[in-house]
Chains A and B, each alone.
Chain A
Amino acid sequence: MVAAKKKVVEIIHLAGKNDKYELLELESKQVLAAWGVPVNRTELARDLGEAIRIAREIHYPLAIKVASPDIPSKSEAKGVRVGISSELELRQAFGEIVNNVREYKPDADIIGVTVQEYLPPAREVIVGALQDPSFGATVRFSLAGFWADVFNDFSFRLAPLSVEDAREMIQEIKGYPVLEGIRGESPADVNALAGIIQKVGQLAHEFPEINKLDIDPIFTFEAGKGAIAADARIVLGRSK
């Protein structure tokens, strides 16, 4: 745990030195990975050549996402492509998303593109943390997509919290049957999720400088098969 803490301090410190308040997806994932939250393999490619080399390592299919401190919502800027299955596709997609982002925000500083391990379809959830001015570190949980955006179907807890609390939090949302499995689906790995929530709570509790943390989405596989963070965003406390 001491090692994990050191590593997180290092990443945050490095980012903070450049006067950055919002970590890149890659940096946010490095924090999570150091803290023991599973993330999909994500590597930064500064140009197409690097992307191709990394892709050969990670293997197809894969996903690419633009890496820019000026683009908080990558999909809104059309800076994401998933399901890339060949080098030819990668070449096309790389140019496309960089162009899309340039068009979306001409002055955006584009560091490169992250090449990411593909995750098979799974139930998607969101785990977040926020430093509340009155209550301190809090965590929140919901299913991803319209469950969060339209129904506001979130559950909350103060951090730190136990794995038991986290499990209760998962069961508390209205959309819980989705995780239990509807229409003959098998149940999702709620234990893995509870573990992630507990860890995120501990992280927010021990690092008040992490003002906001969103893992959206987490791919949750069938019971026993784990859950993996596919995107993450950390905002440091000095932003306000």
Chain B
Amino acid sequence: MMSSGLKVFFEPKSVVLIGASELKGAGAASATFFRSLASNISKFTKGKVYGVDLSGKLEGYMRKLTKVPMNCDLAVVLLPKDLLTKNLSSLLAKKTKALVLISDELAQKQREGLASLTKRGRLLLLGPKATMGIINTTNGLMATPVRGLTPKRGHIAVISQDGGLAAAMLDWARFHGVGVSKFACIGDGLGIGMVGMLRYLAQDKETKVVCVYLETAKEGRKLVGAISEAAKAKPVVVFKGGSEHEKIFDAALKQAGAFQARSIEEIFAVAEGLAKQPPMRGDRVAVITNIVGQAKLLVRSLAQEGLVLAEPSAETVKKISKKHPHVDISGFVDLGVEAKADLYKFVVGQVISDKAVDGMVVINAIKSTLLEPEDIQGIAEAAKKSKGKPVIDLTPGGEDNLHVREVLVGTELPVYNQPEKAARTMKLLSMRGKILNLPQK
């Protein structure tokens, strides 16, 4: 199957929602999620939306499937098992091109029927158990029952085998202020599996980084092949759940050129950096700071990742010392607690142009210094002129980090709250440089 065929999932011209908005007992949760799905999709304006509410309560929704037009692009189904069993064949009779089965239970016979339809290329199926559905932020398609969350538009694609983890990933992405391009919950992969979705996202122009949650490695060889193909086009960050074949799986991911995150949170921490900054040609990282302690922690973390603290050349040191004699440039560059935007801008500009520097982490503590979150805007401006070298920001802490995040919204400067995450991101940027075989400077 051509992966470009998946376009119909993300850019449908017509969508049918099928569910029941009021159910008692075992179906109650399904009804609540259907109402959430209906509300999420109501903002979609780039295609025609038809709704079928078997409970007959939602305004503007049809009561019966029979009224649904033929040959729609996409159907999204969220029904408990008994209602699904009863209605699936009348839905399939409508010859919808693609089907997202959010419902998690399916009668065995229907399962076999669907498997056969997808195999013969008659139907594009996502699910069953695609419990969190799909999202395309570019056109506002929220075919998902996820509650109380609209992802920001951005360049990171998120795919997950598990629904709960899928929602957690979206939640972390929001928390990190990381924008999402496309999102898909694969479920048990009866139809489109990880392989098909990876192939599609590898080619997707809106997507710069693909983040994947993998629970099982069924057909591991094929999966690794798809990851390896995708990783040639863009960084792929994988977070792995199950522990079967652990060591072989880890080795295979490494061979495929994928990056393994060690936690869900780390996925987005590193993905933000990979999406916003260029790969690093080398492993020499300059550190510019307004406090010493955090810089020491960062230098330690960089070393643990196998990176090297860059030593600016004598020429750069001379240029900076001439203008700002109090700046200490032995090892990391200490600007002192009184440093403001101007000094940061000047020094960042000088150091990043230095041939002995491959990338840079800028540390700016707030509460213990005279710096204000607004000053960071200046750093973002200086970082823009980095001539293809990656620059990231480390504002250590909780509240301060959130303030700086707000200031940097819309810029390409990623912000980190802990030295370990900043160092890890620089490491992956350098690995990306090696994978792409960029000439080392």
Q: State the A residues within 8 Å of B (CB).
A: 132, 134-136, 138, 154-158, 161, 165
Contact = CB atoms under 8 A, between A and B. Distances in A.
B255 A134 contact: no
B221 A165 contact: no
A135 B245 contact: yes
Contacts of B252: 135, 156-158
A156 B254 CA distance: 10
Contacts of B249: 135
Given A157-B252, A158-B251, A158-B255, 14 more contacts: A132-B245, A134-B217, A134-B218, A134-B219, A134-B220, A135-B245, A135-B248, A136-B220, A136-B221, A138-B251, A156-B251, A157-B251, A158-B248, A161-B255
Most chain B CB within a 10 A radius of its CB, from A154, A155, A156: A156
Nearest to B228: A158
A138 B252 CA distance: 9
B204 to A, nearest CB: 27
B247 interface: yes
Interface in B214-267: 217-221, 224, 245, 247-252, 255
B245 A134 contact: yes
A132 B255 contact: no
A154 B247 contact: yes
A155 B250 CA distance: 10
Contacts of B247: 154-156
Nearest to A130: B248
Contacts of B251: 138, 155-158
Contact of A157 (B217, B221, B255): B255
A138 B248 contact: yes
13 contacts: A134-B217, A134-B218, A134-B219, A134-B220, A134-B221, A135-B224, A135-B249, A135-B252, A136-B220, A155-B247, A156-B251, A157-B252, A157-B255
Contacts of B245: 132, 134-135
Nearest to A139: B251
Contacts of B221: 134-136, 158
A204 B245 CA distance: 18
Contacts of A165: 255
Interface residues of B, number: 14
Interface string B191-230: 0000000000000000000000000011111001000000
Nearest to A135: B220
Contacts of A156: 247-248, 250-252
B123 to A, nearest CB: 26
A155 B248 CA distance: 8
Contacts of A154: 247
Nearest to B244: A134
Most chain A CB within a 10 A radius of its CB, from B218, B219, B249, B251: B251
A135 B255 CA distance: 12
Nearest to A169: B251
A142 B224 CA distance: 24
A157 B251 CA distance: 5
Most chain B CB within a 10 A radius of its CB, from A138, A154, A158, A161: A158
A132 B221 CA distance: 10
5 tightest Cβ-Cβ pairs between the two chains A and B: A134-B220, A156-B251, A135-B220, A136-B221, A156-B248
B153 to A, nearest CB: 36
A206 to B, nearest CB: 15
Nearest to B256: A158
A161 B247 CA distance: 16
Nearest to A137: B221
A96 B26 CA distance: 73
A136 B251 CA distance: 13
Contacts of A135: 217, 220-221, 224, 245, 248-249, 252
Nearest to B216: A134
Contact of B220 (A132, A155, A157, A161): A132
Interface string B248-290: 1111100100000000000000000000000000000000000
Contacts of A134: 217-221, 245
A138 to B, nearest CB: 5
A157 to B, nearest CB: 5
Nearest to B251: A156
A136 B220 CA distance: 8
A10 B31 CA distance: 65
Nearest to A158: B252
Contacts of B218: 134
A158 B251 CA distance: 7
Contacts of A161: 255
Most chain B CB within a 10 A radius of its CB, from A135, A154, A155: A135
A156 B253 CA distance: 11
B101 to A, nearest CB: 25
A228 B245 CA distance: 30
Nearest to B247: A156
B216 to A, nearest CB: 9
Contacts of A132: 220, 245, 248
Contacts of B255: 157-158, 161, 165
Interface string B347-368: 0000000000000000000000
Contacts of A136: 220-221
B173 to A, nearest CB: 29
A134 B217 CA distance: 7
A134 to B, nearest CB: 4
A165 to B, nearest CB: 7
Contacts of A155: 247, 251
Most chain B CB within a 10 A radius of its CB, from A132, A134, A157, A165: A134
Contacts of A158: 221, 224, 248, 251-252, 255
A158 B223 CA distance: 13
A16 B224 CA distance: 32
A59 B87 CA distance: 82
A161 B252 CA distance: 11
A230 B218 CA distance: 36
A86 B215 CA distance: 60
Nearest to B219: A134
A163 B224 CA distance: 20
A156 B247 CA distance: 7
